[in-house]
A and B are shown apart, each in its own frame.
Chain A
Amino acid sequence: MMFPTLDPLLHSELRLAVVSLLIGMEEAEFPYIKEQTGATAGNLSVQIEKLSSAGYITVDKGFKGKRPCTLCRITPEGRKAFEDYVKALKSYLVKPKK
């Protein structure tokens, strides 16, 4: 049985956690993602940048009052990649028919 290839960008624990988090909501600020994933700011920034470069998420940098505010949102491409990834994962778990 041939298994579909898993998207390497999503098949990483932290990036997958970020995308899973954003799938369930409209938008999330960087501190919230950091809080939920328990990642360090540096590592999280790198992974967010990778997801953003792939077009899976958008990152808006602005200000909330005087404080800088980084807002992340999932894109339709990101949503589609996530759905394909979950579909591929499921195929790994299905027992082959004898």
Chain B
Amino acid sequence: MEEHENKEMTAQESLSLISETLNNSRRDITRRSGKYFLFWGALLTFFSLLVYLLWTITGNPAWNCLWFAMPAVGIPLERFMRRRKESERVQNDVSRINGGIWAAFGFFACAVSAFTLLFYELNDGIITNLAVAFNLTPEIALLFGLAECISGFTLKNWVIKIAGFVTGIGGLALYYITGAEKEQMFIFAFAGLVLVITGLIVKHQYK
């Protein structure tokens, strides 16, 4: 928009300007949120594969504690990303709801993981009682699927809704069917990829 401070507008022009401004800002803010889906998705995939690798090499499931490093790394990095861009501090209903959903997911996932630490039994530095720790996978997969599915509803995108359902229910089913141990990390790596795809969809849909 050029400088039109004194330009006389008709009623139709005024309504068009309002409608155009509202639509453009809504699309712009939602599109900006796409990069945070990409960022957290990449981080989730990275940590899943890292835990899998270290668990496989050492045979010690205590490497699961590395999950706590994910928010410790991710939150400051996200803040840095927001600060770096001068005009980043804007929010609309969609970005606020999505931010809330994923903050709640992060809180529940961290809280339930921290809770399992209370049930650890260490034997020469190796966790021996893993019953509770292992049972975390289906719960977190389900929480993740729920958050992803709700994001699909707020973003009005069927692919994201289905991806949420597949990750949540698929992760749950895979755990009970295969009973795998360190292979469960692939469920989280897949969830990370789902987030990356969500970010790409958001960026493309609201271009």
Contacts and interface: CB of A to CB of B under 8 A. Distances in A.
Contact of B86 (A6, A23, A31): A31
Contacts of B9: 11, 13, 16
A64 interface: yes
A26 B96 contact: yes
A39 B86 contact: no
Interface in A77-98: 85-86, 89-90, 92-93
Interface in A19-41: 20-21, 23-29, 31-32, 34-40
Contact of B24 (A36, A40, A64): A36
Interface residues of A, number: 39
Contacts of B92: 24-26
B12 A93 contact: yes
A75 interface: no
Contacts of A93: 11-12, 15
A39 B12 contact: no
B178 interface: no
Interface in B74-104: 83, 86-93, 96
Interface in A51-68: 64-65, 67
Contacts of A36: 21, 24-25, 28
B18 A86 contact: yes
26 contacts: A11-B14, A12-B6, A13-B7, A13-B9, A14-B3, A16-B9, A16-B17, A21-B21, A24-B22, A24-B25, A24-B26, A26-B92, A26-B96, A32-B89, A34-B87, A35-B87, A36-B28, A37-B1, A38-B2, A47-B5, A64-B89, A69-B89, A89-B11, A89-B15, A90-B11, A92-B11
